[in-house]
A = this chain, B = another copy of it.
């Protein structure tokens, strides 16, 4: 799993039906590029979260045929943003 910070909700009205009405969030790894994750947990902007990729993202989003390759599975209780890109103090 990777650690991301939630940026905002992504609106995509034209979508395949299998995406259903799940909430999609723009997330970003510290110093990395943006990705889009399905959010079954209920995150808010700024939260540091754990997201799972690979085929595990499908079941985590609800069922084995859900079209996700990145699903948020937990909100980190405490994450020191400044430490995310370098050695822990």
Q: Contact between B34 and A84 (Cβ–Cβ < 8 Å)?
A: yes
Q: Contact between A69 and B84 (Cβ–Cβ < 8 Å)?
A: no
Name the contact of A73 in the complex, choosing from B7, B42, B67 (C-beta under 8 A): B67
Report how far A7 CA is from B86 CA in the complex, Å: 12
List, in ascending order, chain B residues with CB within 8 A of A26's CB. Answer: 3
Residue among A32, A53, A56 with the most chain B CB within 10 A?
A56
Q: Contact between B19 and A68 (Cβ–Cβ < 8 Å)?
A: no
Q: Contact between B55 and A12 (Cβ–Cβ < 8 Å)?
A: no
Known: A16-B74, A56-B58. 5 other contacts (CB 8 A): A2-B35, A16-B41, A16-B73, A53-B54, A54-B57
